[in-house]
Amino acid sequence: MTERIIPIADARYHAAVPPVPDAPAAPVGHLEDARGRRLHDLRISVTDRCNFRCTYCMPKAVFDKDYRFLPQSSLLSFEEITRLVRIFIGHGVEKIRLTGGEPLLRKDLHRLIAMLSPLRTARGAPLDLTLTTNGSLLTRKAQALRDAGLQRVTVSLDALDDRAFRAMNDVDFPVSDVLAGIEAADRAGLAPLKINMVVKRGVNDHEIVPMVRHFRGTGHIVRFIEFMDVGASNGWRLDDVVPSADVIERIRAVFPLEPIDPNYPGEVAERWRLRDGSGEIGVISSVTQPFCGSCTRARLSTEGRLYTCLFAIGGHDLRALLRGGCDDAAISGALAALWQARSDRYSEIRASNTTDLRRIEMSYIGG
């Protein structure tokens, strides 16, 4: 029998405590990295746990009963998250996405929403606050999230066909419950929803056109995402990727499409409109058309590590600063130095890098 070594997540990935500058400059609501990209979006993972085992994200062979998730004491508290968000806002962050694991598994998540939703950006506007979920708990939680101030949700849905959906989530979860969750979110006022579908060749690509057909006329926007080589456990192969250009061709053969302008410069999804006016779709081409040049995202892990790229192998331990008695000015200064030094552009140079097994997992950092 081969012996398995199961490290706990705290020790699994490398994280350095960022140095605190002696005399940190006050934040000015704008911060650029070494490639001139500003700090604009922050994705916050609120749990590393999930009730699904999507084969491309948390394969059962790795995330089994012996897998050790983070202990409760490691997690950032809602107060710690809110304190960090204020500091990020000082540097120009305007968009916050809560993610996971499955964010709705985090107890009382609506309390965090209620703490974040009154915050204002450095320019005095409301924060763009949203959440990505697998939808399984939305029927129960949509209204409380909305009441706490959440504006929108993105629901991941990889197939409408129940058999294909159960095979992809690998826990036999029925698609009807996710569809009911989408309706509950719509009724609660979290619309229009974005519906994200990760496309894997030979697994769910036959669902591309049915997905467009199902959601046209609802106002919800389906976005097709190229399967990415994130993490080290999903057995990624380039052959499994259906390029977005093919996705568009397949849809176009049934529903004529025309391109639409981005909502803002550097938007990750490429937008298309159904010519008959019945809906909008999007494609996210992380593999075939990397968008590192306009990547303005930072990611905060469940236990408070900052990652400046989805494909980073090292994080920066902000929790150590929070719990080590640093004041906001010191943490703000440390964050500024980290972002200013950032030069990541993994997707542009992916070919030479796909075999590094220390890369963080999507379920750890939240996509």
- Residues within the interface to ligand SF4 (CB under 6 A): 50, 52-54, 57-58, 100-102, 134, 156, 291-292, 295, 309-311, 344-347, 363
d(Cα 63, Cα 86) in Å, to the nearest integer? 34
Residues 145-164 within binding reach of ligand SAM (CB under 6 A): 156
Is 134 a binder of ligand SAM (CB under 6 A)?
yes
Q: Which is nearer to ligand SF4, 303 or 344 (CB)?
A: 344
Among 55, 99, 301, 302, binds ligand SAM (CB under 6 A): 99
Q: Which residue has the tokens 């046209």?
A: 216
Among 50, 137, 138, 222, binds ligand SAM (CB under 6 A): 50
d(Cα 332, Cα 326) in Å, to the nearest integer? 10
Is 190 a binder of ligand SAM (CB under 6 A)?
no
Is 203 a binder of ligand SAM (CB under 6 A)?
no
Q: Which does 274 bind (CB under 5 to 8 A by kind): ligand SF4, ligand SAM, none?
A: none
If you count them, how many residues does the chain have? 367
Find the shortest distance in angstroms from Cβ 273 to ligand SF4: 25
Encoded amino acid at 188, one letter:
A
Q: Which does 292 bind (CB under 5 to 8 A by kind): ligand SF4, ligand SAM, none?
A: ligand SF4
Beta-bridge partners for 95? 41, 128
Judged by CB under 6 A, the stretch of 71-79, 113-121, 127-135, 348-356 that binds ligand SAM is: 127-135
- In degrees, rounded to 5, the angle at the alpha carbon of residue 48 between the alpha carbons of residues 46 and 49 is 110
Find the shortest distance in angstroms from Cβ 42 to ligand SF4: 13
Residue 23: count other Cβ atoms within 10 Å of its Cβ. Answer: 6
Is 318 a binder of ligand SAM (CB under 6 A)?
no
Q: Which does 67 bind (CB under 5 to 8 A by kind): ligand SF4, ligand SAM, none?
A: none
Find the shortest distance in angstroms from Cβ 349 to ligand SF4: 9
CB within 8 Å of 79: residues ≥ 6 apart: 115
* Site track for ligand SAM across 242-281, x = CB under 6 A: ----------------------------------------
Is 181 a binder of ligand SAM (CB under 6 A)?
no
Is 57 a binder of ligand SAM (CB under 6 A)?
yes
Q: Which residue has the tokens 């968009």?
A: 95
Contact 134, 155 (CB under 8 A): yes
Find the shortest distance in angstroms from Cβ 51 to ligand SF4: 7
Q: Which is nearer to ligand SAM, 91 or 359 (CB)?
A: 359
3-state SS, 52-100, equals CCCCCCCCCCCCCCCCCCCCHHHCCCHHHHHHHHHHHHHCCCCEEEEEC
Element (H, E) at 252: helix 244-252
Encoded amino acid at 128, one letter:
D
- DSSP letter for 241, please: B
Pairing relationship of beta strands 95-99 and 128-133 according to DSSP bridges: parallel
- DSSP letter for 24, please: P
d(Cα 138, Cα 157) in Å, to the nearest integer? 13
- Kindly report the backbone phi and psi dihedral angles of residue 88, in degrees, each rounded to the nearest multiple of 5, phi listed first: -65, -40
Give the count of residues interacting with ligand SAM (CB under 6 A).
Answer: 21
* Interface contacts to ligand SAM, rule CB under 6 A: 50, 56-57, 99-100, 102, 132-134, 156, 196, 198, 225, 227-228, 230, 234, 362-363, 366-367
